[in-house]
């Protein structure tokens, strides 16, 4: 099915199942510990051995020698694979560094060996006996000192490095009110609960990987390419994923080294990345240095917006696209954005929840707050005044839906914004300085083609198969809701099977495109199945209504199951997209409001209230969507207040590489959270009329927190995370 004209009324609009707050259909399996994650697939194949990965002890250089004698002689050891013994390996399209290093080392904790043994303990103990001598090279590990050498990168996933409109330089120079500030965001780790993990099993030249991966089809391709085998010989199975946040978009060392270890040992091998290896071995959200220039008239109209961002990555990597939202968020006749990329020898930078927008809005939405203050304007009113209903760089192009102002107004009302003292540092509650902050949320909508197969069995059950993944987002449930709505059956008559490369290729989970895209694919397959069923029952497919387990047309009403009386009815289809996303700018919007309290003595920051108002198309499952948004708000609170991979600029690695050192919020950090979804349908996105929310939820949160801290204390922190050491010298004297 091709989606190339805006959707009209269709069976989804009945909203009997879709749009209802629905508990996760796989939830009981997860909460009872019976949903098997990759590392727990003891049942999948017998005789599994254990692999343990050895990470490089240096960031850049070469392996001078590896002595495996002691390790090989250790109890239980079955095989050891290094680059020297692995044979020729390719590199996946989505990987920057090689997943098995040596002799060249590209980053700290790059995998250099896998030790396979009968037990996990034996593999780990033997891994400690691998003796490696290195020759260190000098690396470049400091973004701030690398700006001069940063280059203009090529377009990255369709995002051009630079944009300009009007005459920014002249407009900014002559602006009556100006802001010109630098902001920094640190490297972030995905810190998902489930570590990267895989079980590999070879059957002749065919490889099966039970793994934890967000993008099945991408990763089948990259496994094949890395191992140099045909993609038909690779099967990936990933039905349950304990969090990804972008860290599992790609094939990582666990999968490739499990496959190599299994080949060498002649047995299935299971591998999980130990927590202390994850931060440096896998990908992370790269740090940015951003400069924002805003020019405005005294009455608060932005005349010029300039946003530049610098980030670093390994050679061959890409930039953090932190200026993307600035091209679309506010009106101003004169504009420029630019991204520059430095080569760093730190671990590989890549996507993490809302790549680009998350760090970009961390900076931009502080700058907007600062400009509002310079103008003496309320920050909500200032944002509303500078709204645009068209793409500011292509004014002929409208947003398909844009309710940013409504989000801001409704949020302000609900939050009690009107009672706010506009002056910072004046609200006191005992020992606490109290402040409130606001930020806009923005994240583009993306549609990706997505296929599914739907079966109606003899019992009248509907079975959906697609290689879509559920990374804790609720994919199982919204797909079941979609099929139930389309075929007129209750939810418990639908079974959803996900995450297997034997199933039709879906959009996968990333870029908040999963919900709308994967359900649209299921819609297409269900539409085809409806036709097949109607024909089978002798009804007019164009007129057939599917409801209450029956198909009705022309005065006849027949039980759905009848269509499968002599065997399953199966349909498979893919949703593809025309150019509606080019004709219209499709984006999601929101507003975040935060109340923060700062201990006047110590500078400790504790959140008190958080509110998000989101306009993101049709909300397919308000319960799952709310979970996505409150999780993203929590992650945004972490980015605001604590998350930072600490770079050792001498040795070139992230020092705090475990969950004791890399702090993410705990329950005690998260206060009352509220989420409001505006009633919105966007017929330009798909027949589902939906968009994504999982990344929108994190966009702007950190800036709202930073702005609340400013409002509480009068201290403006432009370098994340906002921690007490950045406040301590400027807090008021203690009586």
Partner 1 sequence: MKSFTYERVDTPAAATAAFARTPGARFIAGGTNLLDLMKLEIETPSHLIDVSRLKLDTIEPTSDGGLRIGAMVRNTDLAADARIRRDYGLVSRALVAGASGQLRNKATTAGNLLQRTRCPYFYDTNQPCNKRQPGSGCAAIGGFSRLHAVVGASEACIATHPSDMAVAMQALDATVETVDKAGKARRIALADFYRAPGSTPHLETALAPGELITAVTLPKPVGGTHIYHKVRDRASYAFALVSVGVVVQPDGSGRVALGGVGYKPWRVKAADAELPRGAKAVTSALLAGAKTSHENAYKLPLVERTLAGVLAQAKG
Annotated catalytic residues are: 695
State in angstroms the smallest separation of the CB of 144 from partner 1.
Answer: 14
State in angstroms the smallest separation of the CB of 53 from partner 1.
Answer: 14
* Among 299-307, 619-627, 663-671, 712-720, the segment contacting partner 1 (CB under 8 A): 663-671
Residues that bind partner 1 (rule: CB under 8 A) add up to a total of 44
Task: Mark residues 213-252: x for contact with partner 1 by CB under 8 A, - for none.
Answer: ----------------------------------------
Q: Which is nearer to partner 1, 90 or 276 (CB)?
A: 276
Q: Which is nearer to partner 1, 428 or 431 (CB)?
A: 431
- Determine if 44 is a binding residue for partner 1 (CB under 8 A): no
Q: Which is nearer to partner 1, 162 or 658 (CB)?
A: 658
Q: Which of 9, 579, 679, 729 binds partner 1 (CB under 8 A)?
A: 729
- Determine if 65 is a binding residue for partner 1 (CB under 8 A): no
Q: How many angstroms separate the CA atoms of 515 and 474, rounded?
A: 8
CB within 8 Å of 164: residues ≥ 6 apart: 335, 336, 337
Q: Which is nearer to partner 1, 156 or 432 (CB)?
A: 432
Q: Which is nearer to partner 1, 459 or 735 (CB)?
A: 735
Longest CA pairwise span in the chain (Å): 86
Q: Which of 40, 387, 576, 658 binds partner 1 (CB under 8 A)?
A: 658
Q: Which is nearer to partner 1, 51 or 665 (CB)?
A: 665
Tokens of 685: 């996105």
Element (H, E) at 581: helix 580-583
- Determine if 393 is a binding residue for partner 1 (CB under 8 A): no
* Among 121-129, 463-471, 474-482, 505-513, the segment contacting partner 1 (CB under 8 A): 121-129
Residue-by-residue DSSP string for 10-35:
-GGGG-SSTTS----TTHHHHHTT-S
Report yes or no: 41 and 82 within 8 Å, Cβ to Cβ. Answer: no
DSSP, collapsed to helix, strand or coil, labels residue 114 as strand
State in angstroms the smallest separation of the CB of 39 from partner 1.
Answer: 17
Among positive and negative, which fits the CA dihedral 39, 44, 50, 53? negative
Q: Pairing mode, if any, of strands 269-272 and 288-296?
A: unpaired
Q: Which of 125, 342, 507, 708 binds partner 1 (CB under 8 A)?
A: 125
Task: Mark residues 600-639: x for contact with partner 1 by CB under 8 A, - for none.
Answer: xxxxx-x---------------------------------
Residues numbered 70-89 forming contacts with partner 1, rule: CB under 8 A: 75
Straight-line distance from the first to the last Cα atom of the chain, in angstroms, rounded to the nearest whole number: 71
Closest CA to 450 of 320, 347, 558, 577: 577
HSE toward the beta carbon, residue 155, CA cutoff 13 A? 5
Show the DSSP H helices in 77-205 as ranges: 120-127, 168-173
Closest CA to 642 of 656, 628, 631: 656
Q: Which is nearer to partner 1, 679 or 729 (CB)?
A: 729
Closest CA to 679 of 625, 733, 617: 617
Torsion angle of C-alpha atoms 499, 500, 504, 507, degrees rounded to 10: 30
- Determine if 413 is a binding residue for partner 1 (CB under 8 A): no
Among positive and negative, which fits the CA dihedral 144, 147, 151, 155? positive
- Determine if 511 is a binding residue for partner 1 (CB under 8 A): no
State in angstroms the smallest separation of the CB of 649 from partner 1.
Answer: 8
Beta bridge partners of 465: 453, 497
State in angstroms the smallest separation of the CB of 446 from partner 1.
Answer: 33
- Determine if 646 is a binding residue for partner 1 (CB under 8 A): yes
- Determine if 62 is a binding residue for partner 1 (CB under 8 A): no
Question: What are phi and psi for residue 124, nearest 5 degrees?
Answer: -65, -45
State in angstroms the smallest separation of the CB of 138 from partner 1.
Answer: 17
Task: Mark residues 424-453: x for contact with partner 1 by CB under 8 A, - for none.
Answer: -------x----------------------
State in angstroms the smallest separation of the CB of 75 from partner 1.
Answer: 8
Q: Which is nearer to partner 1, 431 or 543 (CB)?
A: 431
Q: Which is nearer to partner 1, 75 or 154 (CB)?
A: 75
Q: How many angstroms separate the CA atoms of 123 and 95, rounded?
A: 27
Q: Which is nearer to partner 1, 408 or 731 (CB)?
A: 731
Neighbours of 129 (CB within 10 A): 18
Closest CA to 433 of 649, 606, 296: 606
- Determine if 656 is a binding residue for partner 1 (CB under 8 A): yes
Tokens of 189: 């780790």
State in angstroms the smallest separation of the CB of 658 from partner 1.
Answer: 7
DSSP, collapsed to helix, strand or coil, labels residue 723 as coil
- Determine if 497 is a binding residue for partner 1 (CB under 8 A): no
Element (H, E) at 721: none
State in angstroms the smallest separation of the CB of 124 from partner 1.
Answer: 6
CB within 8 Å of 438: residues ≥ 6 apart: 369, 379, 380, 383, 408, 411, 412, 417, 591, 592, 593, 594, 704, 707
Q: Which of 669, 673, 681, 719 binds partner 1 (CB under 8 A)?
A: 669
Helices and strands counted in the chain (H then E): 15, 32
- Determine if 13 is a binding residue for partner 1 (CB under 8 A): no
Neighbours of 374 (CB within 10 A): 16
Report yes or no: 587 and 11 within 8 Å, Cβ to Cβ. Answer: no
Q: Which is nearer to partner 1, 498 or 635 (CB)?
A: 635
Q: Which of 547, 648, 676, 719 binds partner 1 (CB under 8 A)?
A: 648
Q: Which of 40, 651, 673, 719 binds partner 1 (CB under 8 A)?
A: 651
Ramachandran quadrant class, 438 (left: phi over 0; alpha: psi -120 to 50; beta: rest): beta
CA distances from 429 to 113, 432, 594, 598, 661 (A): 56, 5, 16, 10, 31
Q: Which of 100, 177, 439, 642 binds partner 1 (CB under 8 A)?
A: 642
- Determine if 663 is a binding residue for partner 1 (CB under 8 A): yes
State in angstroms the smallest separation of the CB of 714 from partner 1.
Answer: 16
- Determine if 124 is a binding residue for partner 1 (CB under 8 A): yes
Among positive and negative, which fits the CA dihedral 154, 156, 157, 158? negative
CA distances from 9 to 6, 12, 249, 563, 682 (A): 10, 8, 34, 26, 12
State in angstroms the smallest separation of the CB of 665 from partner 1.
Answer: 6
HSE toward the beta carbon, residue 346, CA cutoff 13 A? 30
Q: Which of 193, 418, 459, 735 binds partner 1 (CB under 8 A)?
A: 735
Report yes or no: 468 and 507 within 8 Å, Cβ to Cβ. Answer: yes
- Determine if 731 is a binding residue for partner 1 (CB under 8 A): yes
Name residue, tokens 């061959």: 316
DSSP label at 333?
S
- Determine if 193 is a binding residue for partner 1 (CB under 8 A): no
Q: Which is nearer to partner 1, 170 or 728 (CB)?
A: 728
- Determine if 66 is a binding residue for partner 1 (CB under 8 A): no
HSE toward the beta carbon, residue 76, CA cutoff 13 A? 17
- Determine if 542 is a binding residue for partner 1 (CB under 8 A): no
Q: Which is nearer to partner 1, 338 or 646 (CB)?
A: 646
- Determine if 356 is a binding residue for partner 1 (CB under 8 A): no
List interacting residues with partner 1 (CB under 8 A): 57-58, 75, 121, 124-125, 128, 276, 431, 599-604, 606, 641-642, 646-648, 650-651, 655-658, 660-661, 663, 665-669, 721, 723-725, 728-729, 731, 734-735
């Amino acid at each position: 099915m091709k989606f190339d004209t805006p959707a009209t009324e269709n069976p989804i609009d009945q909203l009997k199942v879709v749009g209802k707050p629905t508990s996760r259909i796989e939830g009981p399996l997860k909460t009872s510990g019976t949903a098997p994650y990759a590392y727990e697939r003891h049942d999948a194949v017998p005789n599994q051995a254990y692999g343990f990965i050895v990470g490089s002890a240096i960031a850049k250089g070469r392996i001078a020698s590896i002595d495996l004698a002691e390790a090989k002689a250790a109890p239980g050891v079955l095989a050891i694979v290094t680059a020297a013994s692995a044979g020729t390996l390719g590199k996946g399209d989505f990987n920057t560094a090689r997943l098995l290093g040596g002799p060249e080392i590209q980053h700290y904790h790059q995998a250099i060996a896998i030790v396979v043994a009968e037990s996990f303990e034996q593999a780990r103990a033997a891994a400690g006996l691998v003796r490696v001598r290195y020759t260190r090279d000098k690396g470049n590990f400091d973004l701030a000192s690398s700006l001069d050498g940063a280059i203009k990168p090529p377009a990255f996933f369709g995002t051009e490095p630079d944009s300009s409109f009007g005459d920014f330089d002249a407009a900014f120079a002559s602006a009556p009110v100006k802001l010109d500030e630098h902001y920094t965001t640190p490297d972030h780790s995905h810190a998902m609960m489930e570590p990267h993990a895989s079980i590999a099993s070879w059957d002749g030249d065919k490889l099966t990987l039970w793994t934890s991966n967000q993008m099945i089809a991408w990763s089948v391709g990259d496994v094949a390419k890395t191992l140099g085998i045909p993609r038909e010989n690779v099967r990936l199975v990933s039905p349950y994923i304990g969090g990804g946040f972008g860290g599992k978009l790609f094939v990582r060392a666990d999968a490739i080294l499990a496959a190599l270890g299994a080949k060498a040992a002649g047995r299935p091998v299971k591998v999980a990345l130990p927590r202390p290896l994850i931060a440096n071995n896998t990908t992370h959200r790269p740090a940015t240095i951003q400069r924002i220039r805003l020019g405005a008239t005294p009455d608060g109209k932005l005349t010029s917006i300039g946003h530049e961002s610098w980030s670093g990555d390994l050679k061959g990597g890409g930039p953090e696209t932190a200026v993307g939202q600035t091209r679309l968020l506010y009106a101003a006749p004169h504009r420029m954005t630019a991204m520059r990329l430095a080569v760093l020898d730190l671990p590989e930078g890549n996507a993490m929840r809302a790549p680009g927008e998350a760090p970009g809005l961390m900076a931009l939405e502080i700058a907007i707050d600062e400009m509002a203050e310079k103008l003496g304007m309320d920050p909500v009113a200032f944002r509303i005044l500078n709204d645009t209903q068209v793409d500011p760089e292509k004014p002929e192009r409208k947003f398909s839906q844009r309710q940013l102002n409504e989000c801001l107004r409704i949020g302000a009302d609900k939050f009690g914004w009107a009672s706010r003292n506009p002056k910072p540092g004046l609200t006191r509650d005992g020992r606490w300085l109290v402040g409130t902050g606001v930020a806009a949320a923005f994240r583009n909508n993306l549609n990706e083609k997505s296929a599914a197969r739907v079966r109606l069995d003899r019992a009248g059950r509907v079975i959906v198969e697609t290689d879509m993944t559920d990374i804790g987002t609720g994919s199982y449930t919204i797909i079941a809701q979609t099929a139930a709505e389309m075929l007129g059956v209750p939810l418990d008559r639908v079974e959803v099977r996900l995450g297997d490369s034997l199933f039709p290729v879906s959009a996968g989970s990333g870029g908040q495109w999963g919900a709308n895209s994967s359900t649209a694919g299921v819609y297409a397959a269900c539409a085809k199945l409806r036709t097949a069923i109607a024909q089978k029952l002798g009804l007019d497919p164009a007129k057939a209504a599917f409801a209450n387990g029956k198909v009705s047309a022309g005065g006849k009403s027949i039980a759905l199951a009848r269509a499968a009386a002599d065997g399953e009815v199966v349909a498979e289809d893919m949703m593809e997209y025309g150019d509606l996303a080019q004709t219209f700018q499709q984006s999601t919007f929101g507003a975040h409001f935060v109340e923060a309290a700062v201990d006047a003595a110590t500078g400790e920051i504790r959140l008190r209230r958080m509110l998000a108002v989101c306009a993101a198309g049709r909300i397919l499952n308000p319960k799952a969507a709310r979970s996505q948004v409150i999780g993203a708000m929590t992650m945004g609170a972490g980015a605001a207040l604590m998350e930072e991979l600490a770079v050792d600029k001498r040795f070139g690695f992230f020092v705090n590489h475990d969950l004791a050192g890399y702090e993410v919020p705990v329950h005690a950090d998260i206060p009352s959270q509220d989420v409001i979804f505006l009633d919105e349908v966007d017929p330009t996105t798909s027949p589902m009329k939906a968009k994504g929310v999982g990344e929108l939820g994190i966009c702007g949160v950190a800036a709202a927190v930073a702005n609340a801290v400013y409002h509480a204390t009068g201290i403006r922190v432009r370098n994340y995370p906002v921690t007490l050491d950045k406040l301590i010298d400027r807090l008021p004297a203690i009586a």
